[in-house]
Amino acid sequence: MAETKSARPLSPHLQVYRPTITMTMSIVHRITGMALYSGTLLLAWWLVALASGPEAYGWFEWFISSIIGKLVLLGYTWALLHHLLGGLRHFLWDTGRGFDLKTANTLGWASIIGSLALTVVVWILAFVLSGVL
């Protein structure tokens, strides 16, 4: 391995490129994936508390209805929707379609705008159905 550490030029990395929408959405797809990974702890807490009884569930309700809990759940909602839309984009690419610049850029913008819009819709629905709005 010693030879590979000689003064050979490295291939250009992220910082030398002007950010493009496709590149940014690729990075965000990975970040939301990692966020959802940690977020499964929230799902596990919800289900285990529900199985444990009203007292344990009360602690979960206390957390999730707090400001921090709501922000975490809001972030989780957006991360899930963004990763979901990003995944659909990958399914299209898997068929060999959608690689031309125009389509790829449009899909990139669609995934960020679509995920933000859907997050708003989901939360408004939740507030309306729970009688807060």
Partner 1 sequence: MSDMRTPLSRVRGLGSAKTGTEHFWAQRATAFALVPLAIFLIASVVALAGSDYETVRHYAGNPLVAIALLALIGAGVYHMRIGMQVVIEDYVTTEGPKVLSLLANSFFAVLVGLACVYAVLKIGFGA
Closest by CA to 72, choosing from 49, 47, 48, 38, is 38
The least CB distance from residue 67 to partner 1, in Å, is 16
- 77 makes contact with partner 1 (CB under 8 A): yes
- 62 makes contact with partner 1 (CB under 8 A): no
Which residues are CB-contacts of 115 (< 8 A; sequence separation ≥ 6)?
A: 78, 81, 82, 84, 85
Report whether 114 contacts 85 (CB < 8 A): yes
- Judged by CB under 8 A, which stretch of 12-20, 32-40, 96-104, 106-114 contacts partner 1? 32-40
Report whether 123 contacts 117 (CB < 8 A): no
- 96 makes contact with partner 1 (CB under 8 A): no
- 30 makes contact with partner 1 (CB under 8 A): yes
The least CB distance from residue 76 to partner 1, in Å, is 10
